[in-house]
Structure 1
């Protein structure tokens, strides 16, 4: 199900670095209700105040809302089941769900707020779309038998594209600070690969031994 061992090591190191980044940013902005210097600079370049960009941001944001997220997950799960890959379906649901769940646990611990006290760090929307893209890329890489380099490029590229798109939407709409989006992206990078490893290990453990 997962890519070869060399890529798993790469994913593990990336996940560890991402987890460290989540902690560092959480401590740095704990209890604050204002943007930092980096946030201010990035927000000024987001361009969400233009009508056409705002419409695009709203459409992207919808993909992280409960209804939009459910539709996306259902579509991917349906594809997995049609291909007779039930474990892949479990992997997608678990990876996306646990990534979002992690952001919900971290938010009250960090205590960072935006707009009348709404908890903002890390971004759950960004974590969701990043995790979903990462899980799909992992499945594709494993199915195609991509090596460490090819698989890593596919997974990182998918995670980066999805995280950048949703992160931009959250920033453009003023729903999150840029560092919130970065925290959400890193949360997915830390949680999703670990979830994939756990699901694979659990499935392998439950498989009867051949004699």
Structure 2
């Protein structure tokens, strides 16, 4: 989206204002869902009913799907995340959009920081060991990263309103679902 500054040179904004407004309520709803699930699963280490159904459906995935799951999982690991963020920052800087580059770092960074702070409060572990699993840092990172990239692409293309919001939400949903599947 292009706006005019006082010196009459166009400046690119990182996010279209139409998307910022419409996604606020979605963010509030998502925070509420994370809170409710955190309360429901606090201190638990076993799979819930939904977890068990998903696990039975995907358990024993054959070699091609297992490789896909491992590749998606890698994107949530520190090295994979650094590669994704580095590539996106490089792209933003090549497009002369330093504010977008900052958003690509700060957005997912805040989400990962939040999950790191919430994990000990919830205390949900996996496999009966000490690996804290909720909220999932892998899933949170990839969802936040794809959300930020979708917001930037939507803003750069001048999409707003319902179409832009739908595109951004669909991209985030697919990313979260893919990482959730890969984690199972």
How far did residue 50 of structure 1 move?
2.0
Q: 1:108 maps to which residue?
A: 120
| Matched residue count | 170
Structure 1 unaligned blocks of 5 or more: 172-211
Q: 1:165 to 1:73 in 2, by over 3 A?
A: same
Distance 2:60 2:151 in 1: 32
How far did residue 8 of structure 1 move?
2.1
1:81 to 72, 89, 93: 93
Q: 2:17 maps to which residue?
A: 4
2:167 to 143, 151, 154: 154
Q: Name the structure with the higher helix share.
A: 1
Of 143-152 and 66-75, deviating more is: 143-152
Q: 2:10 maps to which residue?
A: none
2:110 to 68, 77, 98: 98
TM-score, length-scaled by structure 2: 0.88
How far did residue 160 of structure 1 move?
1.2
The superposition leaves residues 94-117 of structure 1 with CA deviations (integer Å, 9 ceiling, x where unpaired) of 001111111111100000111212
Q: 1:71 maps to which residue?
A: 83
TM-score, length-scaled by structure 1: 0.77
Report if aligned partners of 1:27, 1:110 keep a CA contact under 8 Å in 2.
yes
Structure 2 unaligned blocks of 5 or more: 1-13
2:38 to 26, 32, 46: 26
Q: 2:72 maps to which residue?
A: 60
Distance 1:48 1:122 in 2: 25
Distance 1:65 1:38 in 2: 25
Does the alignment pair 1:163 with 2:180?
Answer: no
SS at match of 1:118: coil
Q: 1:153 to 1:53 in 2, by over 3 A?
A: same
Higher relative contact order (CA 8 A, sep 6+): 1
Pairwise CA RMSD? 1.2
Distance 1:156 1:48 in 2: 30
Q: 1:36 maps to which residue?
A: 48
